[in-house]
C-alpha cells in the first residue's frame, strides 16, 4: 500500500486518518476566534493542533501527558527523543513568551523560531544539511504535554477553555510543571 517505504504499518492507518481529521476539525473551530488573539496567544495556540492530535488520536505519552489508552502502545517514533528534550523546550517556550510580551519578538521572529526550532525534524546533534532523523518535531511532543496534561489534570471543559483562551493554558501548564518538580 506504499506505507512500507515510510516504516508505517497498515495497522496505524486509523490513527493517521484520525490525526489528520482532527486537524480539519480544529481548524474549523480555531478560525472562529483566531483573529481576536494576540501574538502571545497565537504562539501558545500553535501547540494545540499537533499536540491534541497526538494526545487524542495517536495515544501520545509525554513527560506530563499520559496516554489515553493503557492497552495500546503509546506513540513511538521520535517521541522518546523529543520527551528527553522537554525541559530545554520548556525554557525556550517561557523565554519566547517573555520576549513577545516585551516586544523583543514579533510575528516574523516567531515564524522563524517555529520553523527552525519547534518544527525541525533534525536532532540537536545534526546539521541542517543532513537528512532529518526525526519523524515528529517538538511541536508534537511539547504540544502533547502542554495541552494533553491540562486535559489529564483538569478535564475536557478546562482544556476547551484553554484552547479558546491560550494564556490560561500557559498558566495551568506552569502549575502542572511546578507541581511535578
Per-residue confidence (pLDDT) for residue 1, from 0 to 100: 45
Name the more confident of 3 and 150. Answer: 150
Instruction: Read off the pLDDT band of 65 (50, 70, 90).
Output: very high
Is residue 34 scored above 70 in pLDDT? yes
Instruction: Read off the pLDDT band of 11 (50, 70, 90).
Output: confident
**Span 91-132, pLDDT tens digits:** 999 999 999 999 999 999 999 999 999 999 999 999 989 998
Is residue 20 scored above 70 in pLDDT? yes
Is residue 13 scored above 80 in pLDDT? no
Per-residue confidence (pLDDT) for residue 23, from 0 to 100: 66
Q: Tell me the average pLDDT of the chain.
A: 90
What is the value of pTM for the model shown?
0.89
Long-range contacts of 81-88 (CB under 8 A, 24+ apart): 81/123, 81/134, 82/134, 82/136, 82/137, 82/138, 82/140, 82/141, 82/142, 83/141, 83/145, 85/124, 85/138, 85/141, 86/62, 86/141, 86/142, 86/145
Mean pLDDT of 77-99: 95
**Span 133-178, pLDDT tens digits:** 888 999 999 999 999 999 999 999 999 999 999 999 999 999 999 9
Amino acid at each position: 500500500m506504499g506505507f512500507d517505504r515510510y516504516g508505517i504499518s497498515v495497522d496505524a492507518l486509523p490513527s493517521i486518518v484520525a490525526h489528520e481529521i482532527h486537524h480539519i476539525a480544529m481548524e474549523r473551530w480555531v478560525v472562529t476566534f483566531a483573529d481576536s488573539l494576540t501574538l502571545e496567544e497565537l504562539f501558545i495556540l500553535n501547540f494545540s493542533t499537533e499536540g491534541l492530535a497526538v494526545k487524542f488520536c495517536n495515544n501520545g505519552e509525554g513527560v506530563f501527558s499520559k496516554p489515553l489508552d493503557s492497552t495500546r502502545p503509546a506513540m513511538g517514533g521520535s517521541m522518546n527523543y523529543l520527551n528527553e528534550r522537554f525541559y530545554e523546550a520548556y525554557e525556550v517556550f517561557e523565554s519566547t513568551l517573555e520576549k513577545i510580551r516585551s516586544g523583543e519578538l514579533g510575528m516574523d521572529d516567531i515564524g522563524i523560531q517555529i520553523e527552525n526550532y519547534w518544527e525541525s525534524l533534525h536532532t540537536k546533534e545534526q546539521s541542517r544539511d543532513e537528512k532529518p532523523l526525526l519523524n515528529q518535531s517538538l511541536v508534537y511532543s511539547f504540544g502533547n504535554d502542554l495541552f494533553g496534561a491540562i486535559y489529564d489534570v483538569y478535564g475536557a471543559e478546562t482544556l476547551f477553555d484553554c484552547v479558546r483562551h491560550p494564556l490560561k493554558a500557559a498558566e495551568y501548564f506552569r502549575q502542572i510543571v511546578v507541581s511535578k518538580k
